[in-house]
Amino acid sequence: MDFELDQEAAALLAAAGAVLDAEATPGLIRAAWPDGGQSLRPAGLEQIRKVWATLADQGVVGALVGEDDGGLGLDLGHAVPLLERLGYVGLPVPAVETIVHAAPLLAAAGHPALPDVLAGRALVAVGTVTAAGETLVPHGQQADLVILPEDHTGPPGGALRVFAAGELAWEPVATVDGARALARLTAAPADDAGAVLVRDPEAARAAADAAWWRASLGTSAVLVGLAARMLSITIAYVKQRQQFGVPVGSFQAIKHALASAHIAVEFARPAVLAAGWEQAHPDSPAAGLAAGPPRAARDAQAATDPGDDRDPRDDRDDRAARDARDARDARDARDARDARDARDARDATSVAKVLAADAARLAARASIQCHGAIAYTTEYDLHLFAKRAWALIPAYGDPAWHRAHLARGLGLRDKAAGAGAGAAAGGGVGAGAAAAAAS
């Protein structure tokens, strides 16, 4: 695996990083979310949208969209560092939903809203159907477009549809991270509302499932960025906070707590990069296995078989049978390889989500403990990132759900059943989100 960015991806990361460093400050977030409540102020949100539009001008929103559709044509592996950077600043926009989940779907469907999305004029949210049958939409209160399954009252099924936010009836929902602006759908959309993205139920299920796994990986990258930011804030604090005449960071208990959190982040980061590589390169050479002896070898074997005095028509029949067998074997091998590649990529994504979520949880806990009482106040910046991490840990599959997924793959079904049943794996339409609930 080669995690080094190519020239285009590195240039995008550098340009986006410069904008985020200069403009996506905690002050910008506070202007939209001054009291840590359950909604964003329109004036502050307008400033955040301007930053988003600047990022879109650089190509951030279209990173995973093909060049023919107006994007940059990068793969998911190259987008991981960019998503981590977005997590580090905690910008309260549906970045994963818009960049990773929705934009490729809109491009594949040729949806007319794609130019507005790529230009940063439209934000996209993705609905989650909970086990209780509710449709929850993170960032729903600020989104311009919302992607929902046609049968939004139950497990994912039917066509995928995209709606203008004004076509849907909402109510706000209290959540740990008010900047994520969670909304609940209160009435079914009108039959003629929205536009179909994918009509065929099987194709829609496959598209939604692929988007869900992409978004799970994107969320993992954001969590790594959030964890790194919380540790950065805390390390700076314990260096200057004095107790007993010395910095509190000199105490062994503080050192150990932050070192453990730092190790967790450093273990999670390469796992997320590896999962991005797996999703971007499903047909890597390591995955390709021959289904049997090559055609030339089989022909040579046939030539040595007795029976050279057979009727030539028999040879033609044998060749036709061999050709049919070769085609069947090649098709079976390709199908098996595709299934194995998808399974490997999803397993890698589950590992990444578990490690990233655990790292973010540990970083938040250690940061709050090392700060003391000030960490519990909304006046201090730490809560901007801790609350986002707590909200995203269950999004697109919480650690229990992903551990259960891995256990099932290893044949540990009895253990997986208990863990998976109550996983409450939030975030987005797709087969992986059938048990979803948003925090």
Apex 114 CA angle, 8 and 223, nearest 5: 60
What's the mean per-residue pLDDT of the chain? Answer: 84
Which helix or strand (DSSP H or E) is residue 398 part of?
Answer: none
93, amino acid identity? V
Asked if 392 and 219 count as a contact pair (C-beta separation under 8 A), the reply is yes
Q: What percent of the chain has pLDDT over 70?
A: 79
211 contacts 428 by C-beta, under 8 angstroms: yes
Residues sharing a CB contact under 8 Å with residue 259, sequence separation 6 or more, in sequence order: none
pLDDT of residue 303: 46
Other residues' Cβ atoms within 10 Å of the Cβ of residue 313: 8
> Burial letters for 179-192: b for 16+ Cβ neighbours within 10 Å, e otherwise?
bbbbbbbeeebeee
Taking only the tens place, the pLDDT of each residue in 320-338 is: 777 777 676 666 555 555 5
pLDDT, tens digit, 9 for 90 and up, residues 387-407: 999 999 999 999 999 999 999
Q: Would you state the structure tokens that stand for residue 403, as one six-digit string? A: 């551990």
Specify whether the CB–CB gap between 230 and 386 falls below 8 A.
Answer: yes
Q: Convert the pLDDT of each residue in 139-173 to its tens digit.
A: 998 999 999 876 544 444 557 889 999 999 999 99
Per residue in 208-232, pLDDT (tens digit) is 899 999 999 999 999 999 999 999 9
7-18+26-201: CATH class: mainly alpha
For residue 192, the model assigns a pLDDT of: 78
Tokens of 401: 């759900």
Segments making up each domain of the chain, as ranges: 7-18+26-201
CA–CA separation, 187 and 214 (whole Å) = 29
Spatial distance between the Cα atoms of 276 and 337, rounded to a whole number of angstroms: 19
Place of tokens 């650690």: 399
- What is the model's pLDDT at position 35? 83
Does the structure show a pLDDT above 50 at 98? yes
For the ranges 40-44, 67-71, 277-281, the lowest mean pLDDT is seen at 40-44
Q: Three-state SS across 48-94?
A: HHHHHHHHHHCCCCCCCCCHHHCCCCCCHHHHHHHHHHHHHHCCCCC
Q: Per the structure block, which two tokens stand in for 165?
A: 């936010």
Give the 3-state secondary structure of residue 374: helix
Nearest of 92, 3, 85, 131 to residue 398 by alpha carbon: 131
The alpha-carbon radius of gyration of the chain (Å, integer) is 25
Q: Kindly tell me the sign of the dihedral angle through the C-alpha atoms of 148, 152, 157, 159.
A: negative
Q: List, for residues 346-357, the tens digit of each pLDDT value.
A: 999 999 999 999
> Residues 314-324: what's their mean pLDDT?
70
Task: Give the Cα separation of 130 and 278 in Å (integer).
Answer: 29
Number of alpha carbons in the 13 Å side-chain half-sphere of residue 306: 0
Q: What is residue 176's predicted lDDT score, i.e. its pLDDT?
A: 92
* Orientation of helix 7-23 relative to helix 42-57, angle to 10°: 160
Task: Classify 194 in phi/psi space as left (phi over 0), alpha (psi -120 to 50) or beta.
Answer: left
For residue 331, what pLDDT is reported? Answer: 64
**399 and 354 Cβ atoms separated by less than 8 Å:** yes
Phi, psi of 27, rounded to the nearest 5 degrees: -60, -35
Q: DSSP per residue over 196-219, as a string?
A: EEE-SHHHHHHHHHHHHHHHHHHH
Helices (H) and strands (E) in the chain, counts: 14, 10
**pLDDT score for 319:** 74
Report the alpha-carbon distance of residue 254 to residue 251 in Å, rounded. 5
Rounded percentage of the chain residues whose pLDDT exceeds 90: 59
Candidate ranges 260-269, 303-312, 406-415; pick with highest mean pLDDT: 260-269
Q: Which pLDDT score is estimated for 76?
A: 93
Residues in the chain: 439
Q: Taking 90 as the threshold, does the pLDDT of residue 273 lie above it?
A: yes
Residues 6+ apart with CB under 8 A from 78: 5, 6, 9, 63, 276, 280
